[in-house]
């Protein structure tokens, strides 16, 4: 059995020795052996092939014959931290789009000699390609291969299918809240893991109920309960709602941030920053570590004004918003563990100010 299903930080020298036991583990779709460190282009092609298929482990420092591991050679490394940074920099700069879920471990076999394990999960942003040759790779049992046009089309269609399924989901949820809130303006915020529409039951409600922070956007109440679709919470006056769906989607809805067709950029930003922070903490608690899309939209907002726009120095008229909906650009959160919230929220705040004739949000984000 390959090592791919064992947590990478638990892998030790005995695990590598077991690959060469009575039933040796031959190279295949999820494992590849290299005796020596390979060129950056080859490293990227190997990682791309795993990410575009089912994920896998690249093991550097293991000699093989006809794909079967025969000895642990190791590669010399005097500074493992420096080498890890070098490898991550290669992957960051030479793979398009960027692959975020790459882990690297150094397992010492003797002084200054290591087996280097580079693990890549299946990517939900596939297909990926190398910037050095613009080629797309995948893997099968006998190693990596270049994707043909038909295979690429199928992979791209998978991405299109996500967009279609989200559009349908969003329309259904918007209609639901329009019915619940009536004519009141409301805000709808979704966090969508990229595998949400493929894995319909990733959340085990009995295991995670007490771990989830279910405070709805715009309130401090948290009175969560299990419902048919997942975990639900609402404010006492039912103006703010939270729903964690079984497929990992988090939904927030509120009428509190927009009152009498007025709001402010500062209030919106402060509320979003808080909600983003604990929503991402929920994903870390749930161990949903894949990329997540955040999508914000306003409904019933024709005539909306932003009270903290300083009109004194403007060279144009600032008029109330002229449409009933305000659909913000989607935000891709590539790594839920390492997030710069002001930077992440900047496109949303800029788009909000665009609605009033400004190219950029004029207040400081911190």
Q: In this predicted structure, what is the pLDDT of residue 282?
A: 93
Q: In this predicted structure, what is the pLDDT of residue 1?
A: 57
Q: In this predicted structure, what is the pLDDT of residue 335?
A: 81
Q: In this predicted structure, what is the pLDDT of residue 159?
A: 64
Claim: this prediction has a pTM higher than 0.85: no
Minimum mean pLDDT among 37-46, 122-131, 305-314: which range?
Answer: 305-314
Q: In this predicted structure, what is the pLDDT of residue 289?
A: 78
Q: In this predicted structure, what is the pLDDT of residue 313?
A: 63
Q: Average pLDDT over the chain, rounded to whole? A: 90
Give alpha helix (H) positions in the chain. 13-18, 40-51, 80-94, 149-181, 205-208, 265-286, 341-354
Q: In this predicted structure, what is the pLDDT of residue 205?
A: 76
Cα–Cα distance measured from residue 2 to residue 251, given in angstroms and rounded to the nearest whole number: 38
Angle, helices 341-354/265-286, rounded to nearest 10 degrees: 140
Q: In this predicted structure, what is the pLDDT of residue 87?
A: 97
Comparing C-alpha atoms, which of 151, 97, 167, 103 is closest to residue 332? 97
Q: In this predicted structure, what is the pLDDT of residue 78?
A: 94
Residue 291, CA atoms < 13 Å, CB-side half-sphere: 19
Higher-confidence residue of 83 and 312: namely: 83
Query: What is the three-class DSSP state of 64?
Result: strand
Q: In this predicted structure, what is the pLDDT of residue 115?
A: 97
In this prediction, residue 135 has a pLDDT band, given cuts at 50, 70 and 90, of: very high
């Amino acid at each position: 059995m390959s090592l791919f299903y064992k947590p990478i930080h638990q892998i030790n020298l005995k695990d590598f020795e077991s690959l060469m036991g009575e039933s040796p583990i031959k190279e295949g779709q999820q494992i590849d052996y290299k005796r020596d460190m390979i060129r950056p282009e080859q490293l990227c092609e190997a990682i791309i092939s795993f990410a575009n298929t089912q994920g896998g482990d690249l093991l550097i420092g293991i000699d093989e014959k006809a794909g079967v591991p025969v000895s642990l050679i190791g590669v010399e490394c005097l500074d493992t931290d420096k080498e890890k940074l070098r490898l991550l920099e290669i992957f960051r700069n030479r793979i398009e789009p960027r692959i975020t879920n790459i882990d690297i471990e150094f397992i010492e076999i003797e002084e200054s000699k290591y087996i280097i394990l580079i693990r890549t999960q299946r990517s939900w942003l596939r297909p990926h390609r190398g910037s050095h040759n613009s080629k797309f790779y995948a893997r099968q049992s006998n190693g990596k291969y270049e994707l043909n046009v038909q295979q690429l089309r199928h992979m791209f269609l998978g991405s299109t299918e996500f967009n279609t399924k989200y559009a349908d989901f969003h329309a259904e949820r918007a209609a639901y809240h329009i019915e619940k809130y009536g004519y009141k303006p409301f805000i709808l915020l979704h966090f969508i893991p990229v595998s949400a529409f493929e894995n319909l039951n990733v959340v085990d409600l009995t295991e995670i109920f007490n771990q989830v922070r279910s405070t709805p956007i715009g309130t401090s109440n948290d009175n969560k309960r299990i419902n048919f679709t997942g975990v639900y919470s609402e404010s006492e006056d039912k103006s703010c709602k939270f729903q964690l769906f079984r497929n990992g989607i988090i939904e927030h809805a509120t009428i509190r941030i927009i009152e009498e067709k007025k709001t402010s950029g500062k209030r919106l930003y402060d509320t979003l920053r808080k909600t983003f922070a604990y929503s991402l903490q929920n994903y870390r608690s749930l161990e949903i570590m894949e990329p997540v899309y955040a999508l914000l939209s306003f409904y019933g907002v024709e005539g909306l004004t932003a009270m903290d726009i300083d009109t004194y120095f403007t060279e144009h008229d600032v008029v109330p918003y002229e449409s009933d909906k305000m659909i913000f650009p989607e935000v891709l959160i590539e790594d839920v563990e390492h997030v710069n919230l002001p930077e992440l929220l900047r496109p949303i705040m800029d788009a909000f100010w665009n609605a009033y004739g400004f190219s950029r949000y004029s207040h400081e984000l911190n």
